[in-house]
Amino acid sequence: MSTLGTPTPLAIVEESIPNARQRRRGARTTRIRGSRPGFWVYATLGVVFISAVFPLYWSFVIGAGDSTTLRNDFAWIPGQNFIANVTAVMNNEAVNFWPALWNSIYSSFLIAASVVITSTLAGWAFAKLRFRGGPALLVFVVATMAVPQQLGVVPLYILFSELGWTGQIGAIVIPALTSAFGVFWMTQYLRQAVPDELIEAARVDGASMLRTFWTVGVTAARPAAAMLFLFTFVGAWNNFFWPFIVLDRQNPTLPVALSLLQSNYFVDYSVVLAGVILATIPLLLLFVFAGKQLVSGIMAGAVKG
């Protein structure tokens, strides 16, 4: 910093190179702090924004049209048929839309809630309690994250068919009740969020382990738990491979139902895409409310590693 005695060199650089990297953070000279990037930055971001949102908008346009809309050269304005197409999706017997929506909501909720609870417990133990074998077990937890889902599906399918659970939502909830990533996430968070002195103080005051966990641990874990809940919920909602294998067609989740929309020999894209929009709306709503947290979750998870 001291090398920047005079603002002159910077000013020159700024004028001669319009795109000169101007930094928000750590930019401690007034010159740098105040400056804003030029038009092309916003143009780029605009293009990125459009490419992120356009496919969704376009599928709404088609989903609100009739079966000929796709063939029309350039459809840009949504048609009048969205309600009709949505009704067609809802009434399609092959799709079972309402059971699918309900299944998705409650299975994702159960999975996310269970993952948060079990991960917070285990994360607390790994982060703040000392016990024989603890570090080794944590390494084991991390190692399990490398195993692909496909490696377990055949025996799990056999297991659930023996139990008579194939086609039941339980078959997708049970295997997802805990998450190695969740345990690792909470361990990382609690390790730096709770000072050891706080736990000692609670213990000295005569609090039991469970009470210490409840008053100190759970309180401190709340932000990370909310993040974990969001990520697990989105992941469970969007999961396709295992539900597609184990659920039967009468009792699907939304992604499975969506895939069935298209499996008829005649594909009416306006109905298919109306279904896609319909099934995407719940998570888009979630995103509107919690998108900020999702973003900061990704960024926080990234920085903490």
CA nearest neighbour of 190 among 116, 293, 82 = 116
Q: How far is CA 67 from CA 55, 81, 148, 269, 271, in A?
A: 18, 10, 40, 7, 8
Which of 79-87, 88-96, 105-113, 144-152 is the region at the interface with another protein (rule: CB under 8 A)? 144-152
Instruction: Report the helix count and the strand count for the chain, using DSSP H and E.
Output: 15, 0
Which of 69-77, 83-91, 93-101, 218-226 is the region at the interface with another protein (rule: CB under 8 A)? 69-77
Binding residues among 157-216 for another protein as defined by CB under 8 A: 157-159, 161-162, 174-175, 177-178, 180-181, 183-185, 188, 200, 203-204, 206, 208-210, 213
Contact 174, 114 (CB under 8 A): no
Which of 45-53, 77-85, 90-98, 218-226 is the region at the interface with another protein (rule: CB under 8 A)? 45-53
d(CA 203, CA 156): 43
Binds another protein (CB under 8 A): choice among 198, 223, 234, 251: 234
User: Is residue 258 within the footprint of another protein (CB under 8 A)?
Assistant: yes
User: Is residue 11 within the footprint of another protein (CB under 8 A)?
Assistant: no
Task: Name which of 90 and 180 has its Cβ closer to another protein.
Answer: 180
Q: How far is the CB of 259 from another protein (least distance, A)?
A: 5
Contact 119, 186 (CB under 8 A): yes
Q: How far is the CB of 58 from another protein (least distance, A)?
A: 7
CA nearest neighbour of 111 among 233, 264, 261, 266 = 233
CA nearest neighbour of 193 among 224, 237, 231, 232 = 224
Task: Name which of 58 and 84 has its Cβ closer to another protein.
Answer: 58
Task: Name which of 70 and 88 has its Cβ closer to another protein.
Answer: 70
d(CA 81, CA 269): 13
Binding mask 106-135 for another protein (x = CB under 8 A): -----------xxx-xx-xxx--xxx--x-
